Structure formats: C-alpha cells, structure tokens
Amino acid sequence: MPRTIADGQQAPAPGVNTFPIVQRLVSEIVTVSDEEILAAMALARRELHLTLEPSGATGLAALLQGRVSGERPGVVLTGGNVDPQMSTGLR
C-alpha cells in the first residue's frame, strides 16, 4: 500500500457501512498528492485560520487543483487528528 501523509485514508479496505453509501451516491473519485495536500493545509491555515489534518484537507486540495466538477461542490474540512509539529511548519 502506498504511504501518504493522509493516514486517515489508508484503510486496507472500504468500510462495511460506508461502502454501499459511496457506491450509491458518489459519481467520481479523484486523487491528490501529498504536496497538494500540504499546500491546501497551508492555504487553510493562512487564509481561513483553520488547522486541517491531512485527510481533512484532501477535498480542498482537489478543489484547488481543479479536479472537482459540478456547479456547487461541497468540501468537508476536518482537523481532529493534527500533528502539532506538522501544522506549525505550514506557511
């Protein structure tokens, strides 16, 4: 399995409860790099004054990279699992 800073998204298999929901409601999945995640975390900290965890910044990273389609996309931002050393190094 590839390593990523978004460790919350490194599950070996989809969740039993969530996978059927994703199958029914999700029409597209995109990926982002660790560098793009870090850039999104930095932007959120600098511009929004939010400290995001890497997994919680992936949607913002995809949006910033122009990989999200649709007229009014929704992006969930989370910050409950942040390494303090990582978050203080963001500029």
In this predicted structure, what is the pLDDT of residue 12? 86
* pLDDT interval class at 70 (50, 70, 90): confident
**b (16+ CB within 10 A) / e for 41-57:** bbbbbeeeebbbbbbbb
Residue spans per domain, the chain: 30-68
In whole angstroms, what is the distance from residue 74 CA to residue 77 CA? 10
Contacts of 57 (CB under 8 A, 6+ apart): 6, 37, 40, 41, 44, 77
**Residue 5 near residue 39 (C-beta atoms within 8 A):** no
In this predicted structure, what is the pLDDT of residue 47? 95
In this predicted structure, what is the pLDDT of residue 87? 57
**Residue 75 near residue 83 (C-beta atoms within 8 A):** no
